[in-house]
Chains A and B, each alone.
Chain A
């Protein structure tokens, strides 16, 4: 069954085309890695799919799917603590926020000692771990994750990879950007690459 169908999506910034007729399909349980050079339009594509950025033309079909977008920026309120931000996300996605579960989820990513500090004082790596905590807490069908391994230390990267593997095993649909082709080989079932505004399927071998 198709989870996400994108047909001929175009987007230009200041008359310069970034996405020039991008079309692809993602099936249920696919783990798709999105590659491309810096500035090729990966983030723009993810932002269009999540509804943050408007497209100039084209169609996006996402039947009955709950989508979670985790962007390149932390996407949290700097003045609130990790636990408050997670409670906020739960409420936004119509889920209850049990205190025990929130603390447990933060412990899973190694942030239990920082649960009450304002996010403003956390490092980039910690904020990246918080995104994984959010993704494991929210119920979603498709995850759009922009550079999930950015700013993480070696432990953090291993933790992130284990999250990806568990999502893969539980049959979740993933679309993420990553510059590390070896890791993409390991974690993704398909790889798409943006080149000159178009999208190409790359062989994983």
Chain B
């Protein structure tokens, strides 16, 4: 059932392409703006790159989260989904995983202009970098899907999600920026693995919370 629910989320997005186009264009515009704002050398960009990348990821993820739940409110499809004999924890997991897939896809598209415009050389040990991006995305979309589910019944959900999400995501953003920065500068993993543990712990805690509580937070 989980696979089917993820497929459903991606199919709806594929049809509308609203989130995808909005998120992709937003991230590219942000990168171009950064490139023209900071007139600095490639070396200085390396220091800022991790922060710029995760700032872009944070704002892009909010756009995706808002769209993901607005599909559900239009024609009240969410009530039909809730009344079906599906474990609501799986609905949360499907929202989380599909959001994660979409955000990761956008980031890999945005990575090309990011490296080109900001004149950043790809660091060694590329696999480690991909691992950090996947963990950071997963943590952001996990908490985001949980909070968006909680706020979706509210009239002010579009405003509420960023207001609640940004402060709660601080540990994720700090850990992602720190670990990405350390990786880009070529520090050994043992020097910054604490940040990776922070991300993993966050995913485990909020993943379990979301799975267990989604049934209660989505009730009217």
A binding-site residues for B, Cβ under 8 Å? 47, 50-54, 66-71, 73-80, 84, 88-89, 91-94, 118-120, 127
CB-based nearest A residue for B86: A92
Interface size class of B (residues with CB under 8 A): 20 to 34
Please tell me which one of the listed residues A76, A78, A93 contacts residue B84 in the complex, with CB atoms under 8 A apart. A93
Give the interface segment out of B4-12, B47-55, B104-112: B4-12
Whether A77 contacts B71 by the Cβ 8 Å rule is yes
Whether B15 contacts A53 by the Cβ 8 Å rule is no
A75 and B75 in contact, given A53-B219, A53-B220, A91-B4 (Cβ under 8 angstroms): yes
Please tell me which one of the listed residues B74, B80, B81 contacts residue A78 in the complex, with CB atoms under 8 A apart. B74
Whether B15 contacts A118 by the Cβ 8 Å rule is yes
Whether A119 contacts B75 by the Cβ 8 Å rule is yes
User: In the complex, what residues of B have CB within 8 A of residue A68's CB?
Assistant: 83
User: In the complex, what residues of B have CB within 8 A of residue A66's CB?
Assistant: 85
Whether B75 contacts A52 by the Cβ 8 Å rule is no
Q: Complex formed: what's the CA distance from A73 to B80 in Å?
A: 9
CB-based nearest B residue for A127: B75
Whether A75 contacts B74 by the Cβ 8 Å rule is no
User: In the complex, what residues of B have CB within 8 A of residue A50's CB?
Assistant: 83
Whether B220 contacts A52 by the Cβ 8 Å rule is yes
Please tell me which one of the listed residues B16, B76, B83 contacts residue A51 in the complex, with CB atoms under 8 A apart. B83
User: In the complex, what residues of B have CB within 8 A of residue A92's CB?
Assistant: 81, 84-86
Q: Give the secondary structure class of B's interface.
A: helix
Q: Give the secondary structure class of A's interface.
A: loop
Q: Complex formed: what's the CA distance from A94 to B5 in Å?
A: 12
Whether B4 contacts A69 by the Cβ 8 Å rule is no
User: Separation in Å of the B152 CB from the closest CB of chain A?
Assistant: 13
Q: Complex formed: what's the CA distance from A50 to B85 in Å?
A: 10
Chain B 111-135 interface 0/1 with A at a Cβ cutoff of 8 Å (1 = within): 0000000000000000000000000
A74 and B219 in contact, given A50-B83, A52-B82, A89-B84 (Cβ under 8 angstroms): no
Question: Is the CB of B79 closer than 8 A to any CB of chain A?
Answer: yes
